[in-house]
Each structure stands twice: as structure tokens, then as C-alpha cells.
Amino acid sequence: MSPAILSLIALLVAIALSMASKLNVGVLAMAFAWLIGTYVADWRVEQVAAGFPSSLFLTLTGVTLLFALAESNGTLERVAHRAVGLARGKTRLIPILLFLIAFLLSSVGPGAITTVALLIPIAMAVGTRAGVPKFLTALAVANGANAGNLSPISAIGIVANTKMAEVGLGGHEFKVWMTNLFAHVLVTAVAYVLLGGPRLQPAASGSATVVAEPFVRKHWLTIAIITAWIAGVIGLKLSVGLAAFLAVCVLVLIGVADETAAMKRVPWGVIIMVCGVTVLIAVLEKTGGMDLFTSMLARLANPATVNGVVAFVTGLISSWSSTAGVVLPSFLPTVPGLVEKVGGGDPLAVALSINVGSAMVDVSPLSTLGALCVATVADPAEARVLFRQLLFWGLSMSLVAALLCQLFAGILARA
């Protein structure tokens, strides 16, 4: 069997196992890459290792470590508490405010998982006291966090933009971010209306009050340094990851954060997943397996339907698998070949469809975001209800994302 066919089979097996087992697919992908590259393609080990994305690894590690420090010293939690307190008993505003807070927190760097983990316990407590349905609270927080997840300085946004740049689609960071925001605003607005958001009655005095610990010196310094990091990245075009390492050093040296505690909070599993799949994708490309993969995808679509089809396929896979670790690294590199094989289409629109399709299903309790929301509900009966609601909503988003991408991806790509 040729290296191209074996590498494609390896990728498909890795994707399947990522959906059906707890094995870190990045570890499996690197093992497959080594076996196929060394013993089938007859490469040196150094040639296989050359596919490791060192720049992406540094960027992801730097960004996630910086926000792990801010989480471990309590800064992010205090920011979230203060932000939720802005509702001041106006119940109708609570879901809207939760969406905006989650969007902003996720956008500045922590990403969706950290944002939801920080915000959802506070949001559920406040929402329950004020009479906001748990389902609406969960959707507001999870969709808001997902909406900011593809910002240029968030870990998942870095993955998406790096993979797009590798296939000649760089320079669209703002469009990637805003397209994802547009899709999540639309579906959350529908949820807000359907679940009675505009009809929510004002909370009784004090029922939605959030009691937060005060900011102290270490929190203000952490906020100042993260703000300086963001300003440097945006204004001075500093390296996102390497500048984050500098910010980490400053925080540790001035004694406002514990490096050991932060290291334990870095999502090493996700980083290994992303980098491992990237190594296997590099083998796939060098052996010609990528052409086979894009040919398979091309059979499902034509130039008129490619945006909707690719959003649906990536949404279904992302429902059970990792968006950042599997779907984006696997599918974004296929974009140029896919457009060529279907005989037309806008490569940027296809890439945006992959991003949106894979993201919108992540509110499912089969994904981390939905699971975090369900875990905050103490009553078993209510937790089961929320599980079913989020499962139905999340899986239905594969169809909704396909429709939205079919209608709007081309327009947004040209905007």
C-alpha cells in the first residue's frame, strides 16, 4: 500500500478514535506519522520531525501560560464577577450581558473553555436567582465564549489563522473573528427570543447581586501587564507567543503569580493534540495523501454547495471531536485542493465555513463547553433536562451552520 493511502487511512483512523476514545489524538497522530514516514516512505526521522509546528507550539504555550497565571492568581475570576454585576437586577439584560462578557473575555486570550469555566458558575447562580432559564444562561455564556474564540490573540484563533496562512489565506484575522461572531450573535438572538428573554421580569431587590472579592495589587498589575501585551501585539505587531512569554516572566518576577500553579492549568493535552495532528498532516501532504483527502470531500459538493457542505461535515465531526485539535488542523489545509477539485468556489469562504461549522456545535454537552454548563447544575433532574436541551441544540447547529455558511460565507468573504 502506498504512503499516500496509508497516511490518509491514518488520518481517518485518528479522527474516528478522537470521536470514540479518550486517547489524545495528537499522540496517536505523531506515532502514525513516524511509522509511515520512516518505515513506509523511507524518510529519515528528522524529515518526519520537520513537520512539528514549532512556531505554533511556542505561540499556544505562551498565550495559554499567560492566562493560566491570570486565572491562578484570581484576576480573571474577579473581572468576571465585576462584569456580571453590571446587570443590577435588570433580568432581561442578564443573558445579553453574559454573552458580551463571555465574548470579551474569550477574545482577549483565554479562549472559550477557560472563559466558560470561569463564568458559568457565577452566571448560573445569578441567572437562577433572577429567574433566567438555565438553558438560556448556558447558551448565552457558551455561545458568547465561542464567538470570541477565533480572535487573533486567542489560542484557537491562532490555530485557525496559522493553518489558513499556511495555504495562502493569511491576513484575514479580523474577518475570521467577525464572521464567527456574526454567526453566534444570530443563533443566540434567536435563542433569546424563543426562550423568553424579552419577557423576563425584573429581579427582586438584591436577588441578582454578585458579591465579589476586591481587586488588590497583584490583580491590578496582572491586568496592566496583559493590557500592555495586547497593545504591543496589536499596535507594535509583536509576536503573540513570544511577547506572552515576556509578560509571564514579568508577572512571575514581580511576585504576583505562581508559575508552578499556572503550569498545571496550561491545556497541554490540547497543545499536544494540535501539534501531533499537524505532524501527521505534514506527512499526508508530502506523500500525496492530501490530494486523496480533498478528492473524497469534493465528491460531496459542487461549486454552488461547497460552503454549506463543508460546514455541515466539520460540524458533525466537531460534535464528537476536538475543534482545535482535530477539525481545524485537518480540514483547513484541504481548502485550496478542495476548491480546485470541486471546480470552483471562494477559498476564503470555504475556510470561514470550516471555522464556523466546527465552532457552532460546541455547546453540545458532548463537548467541553456544554459539559461545563451541565456540571454547574446541582439538581440531577434539572441537569438531565439541560443535558438533553444542549444536546439537541448542539447537534442541530450542524444544520444551522450549514445553512448560514451557504447563505452568507461568500458574502462575508468578499466584504
Confidence category of residue 209, pLDDT binned at 50, 70, 90: low
Closest CA to 215 of 74, 380, 324, 317: 74
Total number of domains constituting the chain: 1
Q: What is the pLDDT of residue 393?
A: 94
Structural domain contains residue 404: no
Residue 246 has pLDDT above 90, yes or no: yes
Q: 363 pLDDT exceeds 70?
A: yes
C-alpha cell at 142: 457558551
pLDDT digit string (tens) for 252-281?
Answer: 999 998 889 889 888 888 888 888 888 998
Is residue 263 domain-resident?
no
Position 228 pLDDT exceeds 90 = yes
Q: Determine, yes or no, domain membership for 332.
A: no
For the residues 343-360, what does the mean pLDDT come to?
A: 94
Question: Can you give the pLDDT at residue 212?
Answer: 67
Label residue 104 by pLDDT band (50, 70, 90).
very high
Mean of pLDDT over the chain: 88
pLDDT(208) > 60: no
Short-list 156, 69, 104, 57, CA closest to 368: 156
pLDDT on residue 89: 65
Torsion (CA) 317, 323, 326, 327 in degrees, nearest 10? 60
Q: How confident is the model at residue 203 (pLDDT cuts 50, 70, 90)?
A: low
Residue among 121, 129, 124, 133 at smallest CA distance from 206: 129
CB atoms inside a 10 Å sphere around CB 18: 25
- Whether residue 198 is contained in a domain is answered as no
Closest CA relative to residue 339, chosen from 388, 243, 273, 410: 410
Q: Whole domain around residue 39: which residue ranges?
A: 1-50+280-288
Q: Identify the pLDDT of residue 169.
A: 95
pLDDT above 60: residue 310: yes
Is residue 190, in this structure, part of any structural domain at all? no
Determine, yes or no, domain membership for 30.
yes
Distance CA 80, CA 135 (A): 20
Instruction: Tell me if 210 is assigned to some domain.
Output: no
Within-domain flag for 188: no
